[in-house]
Amino acid sequence: MRISGKSIGIVLACILAVVAGIVVGAHSGPCVSLFPGGISFVVEDGLDPSSQVLTVGGYGDVVSWSALADAPWLSLEPSHGTTDGEATISLSAEVRGMNPGEYSAFITVSAPQARRSTIQVPVNLVIIETEETLAIREAVGGDTENVEIYYDVQPPYSKGPDGTVINLVNCDAATDRTWQELLWFIVSDDTQADAYIEGLYMCGSFAERLHNNAEQAGIRAAVVAVHFEDRSESHALNAFYTVDKGLVFVDCTGGGVDVIHSSLHDGYDYAPDYSRIAYVRVGGDYGLVSLENAHLPSYSFYEEYTRQWQHHEELVQEYNTRVDKYTELLGGRTVIDDYSEYLELKAMYDDLEWERSRLEAVAEDLGDYRWFSLGIVSHIEIYW
């Protein structure tokens, strides 16, 4: 059977009418769109990033919508509304307490009356530096090349000849404490009393134990690997971030470190306490100060402490030289016949006694001894 051109036109018109009816019927009602299709935040200064805007478009009729974020660090304002044109949502990322890394989330916008009732927008957050990491770098005078900071990563260092690696046990409930609270904990902890055994129980074992003891006590702790410019061996110790004094390094490694002792000619025994505040700065000496004499954790305190010690040692040397002179003049005599000589020697003695008391008062603040530096720090790794 032949079909005329007119008949073809009628058939096509009927088909188009049917198709148009399907499209309209399937897409009847309002629609919703979101712009942009993805959101990214980047944090380089440790502060909350600037807020961003997500636009909700409603077309065809008034649209009621609600928005929900699936990450605690992401907040929305407002979280619901109505529109027959465009509405905006302000997106804010709150990064306080978060660690460096990459985080992802989704914002879900629901509009039950719209043709497409649910739309999701991905959100990406990249934290390069936090307030803590920036403060750490400032405290040790280093950048990303010579100060590496890790979170929830085990140190790749062995603590003994059998290859057993350091195992850090963190407690989710552990928090940063004050400087004084940290000192109280260090005084009460007995890690430094362990025996230092070359090749068997060394700095890594001490640092591991102090870390795990602190975390168990609810104090957030880190293990630190310090590398030196002039020696191949690295050294392990601990770090704490205090809420009032910032970063604090603690070295409880028993033995293996020598001390310098300034003597006022009278030798006496002393038992070093191996609980020490450590002072770490890239390009500077690795310093140690006994716990009772470390009044602040800042490196500037260590520099001033070192200057005072050096000056004190000079004064002690001068004092000992004068004592030798007095002893020489006395010549072992117990009775001085010449009255003028007696007065001269007595004046020397009284002056030496006054100087001795002054030097002892200074030593009370500086300590009976000071620790040798382990070397010049080249770079450090911190494992929280």
Amino acid identity of residue 366, one-letter, is: L
As a whole number of Å, the end-to-end CA separation of the chain is 86
Q: What is the dihedral of CA 291, 294, 296, 302, to 10 degrees?
A: -130
Domains located in the chain, CATH noted: 31-127 (2.60.40.10), 131-310+367-383 (no CATH)
Residues 332-351, mean pLDDT to the nearest whole number? 91
The pLDDT value given to residue 334: 86
**Hey, what amino acid is at 7?**
S
Angle subtended at Cα 126 by Cα 121 and Cα 127, rounded to the nearest 5 degrees: 140
The tokens describing 339, both together, are 């009255």
Query: How are beta strands 52-59 and 31-35 bridged, if at all?
Result: antiparallel
Which amino acid would we find at residue 373? S
- Residue 241 vs residue 8, higher pLDDT: 241
163-170 own/partner pairs: CB under 8 Å, 24+ apart: 166/204, 166/207, 166/208, 166/223, 166/236, 167/208, 168/208, 168/211, 168/212, 168/215, 168/223, 168/383, 169/211, 169/212, 169/215, 169/216, 170/215, 170/384
Tell me the per-residue pLDDT of 197-239, one tens digit each, with 9 for 90 and over: 888 899 999 999 999 999 999 999 999 999 999 888 899 999 9
Which of 4-8, 26-30, 128-132 comes out lowest in average pLDDT? Answer: 4-8
The rounded distance, in Å, linking the Cα atoms of 204 and 317 is 38
- What is the percentage of the chain residues whose pLDDT exceeds 70? 88
Nearest to 27 by CA among 59, 55, 56, 65: 59
Q: What is the pTM of this model?
A: 0.79
Determine contact, residues 294/186, Cβ cutoff 8 Å. Answer: no
8 A C-beta contact, residue 286 and residue 368: no
Residues 174-203 pLDDT 10s:
999 999 999 999 999 999 888 888 888 999
